[in-house]
Amino acid sequence: MKKKTVAIIPAFNEEKTISAVINNLKSYVDRVIVVDDFSTDKTYKIAIKSNAITLRNKKNLGPDKSIEVGLKKAKKLKYEFILTFDADDQHPHSKIPFFLNLLYKDKADIVIGNREKFPRFSEYFFSYYSNFKIGVPDPINGFKAFKNKIISKIGYFDSYNSLTSQILFNSYKNNYKIKNIKIKVKKRIDSPRIGGVIKANYKVLRSLILTIVKNI
């Protein structure tokens, strides 16, 4: 039973995978919202053709603000449950029922995937801090599910780009139940959108430092 569930996909230059991701998600949720983050390829057009609710940012805003755009749309449409999913087709969609059932059965307020290993050294530092602070070992994983009602309590994202981790820290502060589920991810078919080694590690470490400062 889907129980008024919507998937939100933040997407930036993912024309090779976005159609497959949308079509896979349709089996598990009522609707799919794609927030195109000012892509320069055909991501936006392909999402429309794939019958997703497709929104487009007027400039590149990053994952936090793209998800926020999707959340505001989901609120207007009165969806009860939210699934966030990356557009690169790395996440195992077969795990979606496990995520959603924890919400449907009220065993969790927010569920997040936990990868076995990380592609960047900076993510291990973030993992160590987050696991110690709130019991979440993979805070920047884009595969999350949560009850929409928690957003009205914890608010949307700040401007510092938490790589979507802020929702977890704010949920923890408000005593919401967080569950981790181990997942295996597929290898990307091209280069990651977060940038090369130096740029990506910089973004993760910057987000980690700002997260630490905000949660002192």
**179 pLDDT more than 80:** yes
pLDDT digits (tens, 9 = 90+) for 96-133: 999 999 999 999 999 999 999 999 999 999 999 999 99
Q: How far apart are CA 77 and CA 94, in angstroms?
A: 26
Q: Which sign does the torsion angle of CA 71, 76, 82, 88 carry? A: negative
The gap between the terminal CA atoms of the chain, to the nearest Å, is: 41
Residue with tokens 């290898």: 187
Strands 178-183 and 110-115: parallel
Give the chain's mean pLDDT.
95
The pLDDT score that the predictor gives to residue 126 is: 98
Q: How far apart are CA 144 and CA 100, in angstroms?
A: 10
Domain boundary assignment for the chain: 5-214
Q: How far apart are CA 208 and CA 102, in angstroms?
A: 28
What is the domain class of 5-214 according to CATH?
alpha beta
The residue-averaged pLDDT of 132-141 equals 98
**37 pLDDT more than 60:** yes
**2 pLDDT more than 60:** no
The pLDDT score that the predictor gives to residue 192 is: 78
pLDDT digits (tens, 9 = 90+) for 56-71: 999 999 999 999 999 9
The pLDDT score that the predictor gives to residue 1 is: 46
